Amino acid sequence: MRWAHAPVDTRGRLRTPDPAAVRQIRAEARLLEVDGAQHRFAVHDDPQYLNPQTVEWQAFGEPLRIHRHRIRTTFANRRDKRAWTGRTTIDPNRTARVEGDQYLSRPSPAQQDALHAVIEDAQADLVRRATTAVVITSQDPVAAAQALPGQVASLHLTRTVIAELVGGQRDVFTAACADQLAGLHGPAGQPCPARPWVCLLCPLAVFAPRHAPNLLRLKAFFARQFRQMPVAQFMAVFGAYAHRLDEDILPRFGAAVLTAAAGEVADTDEELPLRPEEVTG
């Protein structure tokens, strides 16, 4: 069996074999196009074209030259795109080490600042998750106002802000917020865009008995999400918030407060400010 190929011309276009030349092959012949190659091949068994030095062979095409490096590169590139192997690179002709040295080890000052900002945000998030939630257990405003400064000493709040936290003037859906313009979960100077459950891990949130109904609505929402989501996905999205609510916030309220609040919970999505993609119906 013999092969003849149509090479790429100097302008980068494929020169196919002359149809008349293909018809000259008296044996059965067919054209093959190899995916990813720069040539198309004619496969035939015509004895007239057995000798590459003959005029007939030269009229049909040129001998096929196998480029093993290009075949290996094409194979490795297609394999790495099919599944993650740890060898995937931007340029298949470069090793992972070369690309790492060129693209990762020489960041610009702006890239270094962006990288440090990401690290700082991640560390701050870990600290927030490790801190204990601020919960006011007393329903007496005077007693709550006296106990709150010691709990939020690290926030350096003024007496006016403390009075507003206790009195409900700074309430959001889940808790009372010490500073909605702090920019902890969004642009500084603008109202916080965080979802209701994000407050459960926020160091600016203060939870009081009046928030118990909404906290129980969140607990019911987590239960509905748990029933309809895979466990791994639920833990990645809501796991930390559900754990803080069940282990650190609700147990610090009295049984009478939780019992009274449970009577106000209907266990429906309409009770929460949800986006269309967050509903559980």
- The confidence score (pLDDT) of residue 226 equals 96
Contact present, 195 and 277 (Cβ < 8 Å)? no
Contacts for 132 with CB less than 8 Å, ≥ 6 apart: 248
Q: Which residues pair with 207 in a beta bridge?
A: 135
Window from 5-19, 63-77, 192-206, 219-233 with minimum mean pLDDT = 5-19
Alpha helices (H) along 30-93: 55-60, 68-82
Backbone φ/ψ region at 233: left (φ over 0), alpha (ψ -120 to 50), beta: alpha
Token digits for 159?
């007496």
3-state secondary structure of 234: helix
Whether 183 has a pLDDT exceeding 70, the answer reads: yes
**Nearest residue to 220 (alpha-carbon basis) of 237, 238, 232, 193:** 238
Share above pLDDT 90 across residues of the chain, in percent, rounded to a whole number: 33
> E strands along 1-144, which residues?
2-6, 29-33, 40-44, 134-135
- The confidence score (pLDDT) of residue 160 equals 87
Which residue would you say has higher pLDDT here, 76 or 272?
272
Rounded mean pLDDT of the chain?
Answer: 77
The Cα-based distances of 166 to 117, 161, 162, 199 in angstroms read: 34, 9, 6, 17
User: Average pLDDT in the 185-198 region?
Assistant: 91
Domain ranges of the chain: 2-65, 69-103, 114-278
Contact present, 215 and 250 (Cβ < 8 Å)? yes
**Nearest residue to 182 (alpha-carbon basis) of 161, 208, 209:** 161
Q: Among all chains, which residue has been given the structure tokens 């015509």? A: 46
- The confidence score (pLDDT) of residue 111 equals 82
pTM higher than 0.75 for the full model? no
Whether 211 has a pLDDT exceeding 80, the answer reads: yes
Share above pLDDT 70 across residues of the chain, in percent, rounded to a whole number: 67
